[in-house]
Amino acid sequence: MTPGERLRELGERLPPVAAPAGAYLPAVRSGSLVFTAGQVPFVDGRMAATGKVGAEVDVAQAAGFARICVLNALAAVDALVGLDSITRVVKITGYVASAPGFTEQPAVLDGASTFIGELFGDAGGHARSAVGVAELPKNAPVEVELVVEVTTEVSR
């Protein structure tokens, strides 16, 4: 089953590519790697929630938002080279807007990592860094970027 088929089986679909927040692109390919921009939990052009994790946003909510970030990142990859050209999810970097004393960033990012595992299986096995930052753009609670490996034969 392809990641696209698995996505549908999970009852999800890729959203439209979120407009970048500035003078940059949602994703760029160089050789067999695609780097996505940092994605925040935009849904239908609006931030799904704002605030700090550990204060206004709890861990379970934040994990759900991290999953939305991944959907947005995959939409960016899909628009660039096609979702099913991904041969490996290589790296996730996750930034969690953290209330003082909040140290469960890994549990937040597991919302991203678990979803990638569901979609890609073994090809979804990725390295990850999770850090707690002071502030994120537009008061987003979480921001996620991906580095993925793609087949260089496919482009669209």
Binding residues for a copy of itself (CB under 8 A): 20-28, 30-33, 35-38, 88, 90-93, 95-98, 100-107, 109-110, 113-114, 117, 125-139, 143, 145, 147, 149
How near is the Cβ of 2 to a copy of itself at its closest, in Å? 20
Q: Which is nearer to a copy of itself, 12 or 114 (CB)?
A: 114
Q: Tell me the closest approach of the beta carbon of residue 135 to a copy of itself, in angstroms.
A: 3
Query: For 57-126, where are the E strands, in sequence order?
Result: 86-97
DSSP states of 12-29 as a string? --PPPPPPPSSSS-SEEE
Q: What is the dihedral of CA 94, 97, 103, 107, to 10 degrees?
A: -50
Q: β-pairing, 33-36 with 142-150?
A: antiparallel
To a copy of itself, the closest distance from the beta carbon of 146 in angstroms equals 10
Instruction: Tell me the closest approach of the beta carbon of residue 150 to a copy of itself, in angstroms.
Output: 10
Nearer to a copy of itself, 12 or 50 (CB): 50
Q: Is 150 helix (H, G, I), strand (E, B) or coil?
A: strand
Report, in Å, the least distance between residue 9 CB and a copy of itself: 19
Burial 71-103 (b: 16+ CB within 10 A, else e): bbbbbbbbbbbebebbebbbbbbbbbbbeeebe
